[in-house]
Amino acid sequence: MLRVSNQRKNYILEAKMRLYLMWDEVSKEGDFFRRVYELKLVRDHNPTLAMTWTVMHPIDENSPLFGVTLDTLERKKAMLLTSLSGIDESIAQTMYARSFYGFRDILWNHQFQDVIYHTPDGHRYIDLSFFHRTEPLETEISE
């Protein structure tokens, strides 16, 4: 999981997220190369990104991360690349954002703390001061 947020006072329309895994591999012939995998997301688009969006990649038998350990990520010098694009509704221009995460940035068996709160009268608000906070999962998932 990773979380993105719109800190603008408007909407980002037709937001599209892509997530890539990059790591070192050696071919059958013994040649070194940097492999790039596009990771499948549970949902890769958001029609109106207004507050936050938790982007999730299921690690199942179809994922290149299936069965991978922290040691594997370190040995292969793995990193994740995120690419977010959308249309800023105020100026009708396409916006782009990208981030890189190294293997040491990955937290195992954690989930994000909620940042969306409700007032007693039913309104919602977001507190981005907790944006990066995580908490351990109650049930651990093995590396």
pLDDT value at 48 more than 70:
yes
Going by the DSSP 8-state scheme, the letter that residue 92 receives in this structure is T
Per residue in 111-127, pLDDT (tens digit) is 888 888 889 998 988 88
Taking the C-alpha atoms of 132, 82, 20 and 53 in order, what is their torsion angle to the nearest 10 degrees?
A: 60
The average pLDDT across 76-101 equals 95
Per-residue pLDDT at 98 exceeds 90? yes
Q: How confident is the model at residue 135 (pLDDT cuts 50, 70, 90)?
A: confident
pLDDT for residue 134: 87
Q: What is the mean pLDDT of residues 36-65?
A: 94
Residue 61 CA to chain centroid, in angstroms? Answer: 19
Which pLDDT value is given to residue 60?
Answer: 95
Q: What is the pLDDT of residue 110?
A: 85
Please state which of the ranges 6-10, 23-27, 58-62, 69-73 shows the lowest mean pLDDT: 6-10
% of residues, the chain, pLDDT over 70: 97
- Domains in the chain (CATH in brackets) are 2-108 (2.60.40.1400)
Give the burial string for 16-33 (b: 16+ CB within 10 Å, else e).
ebebebebeeeeeeeeee
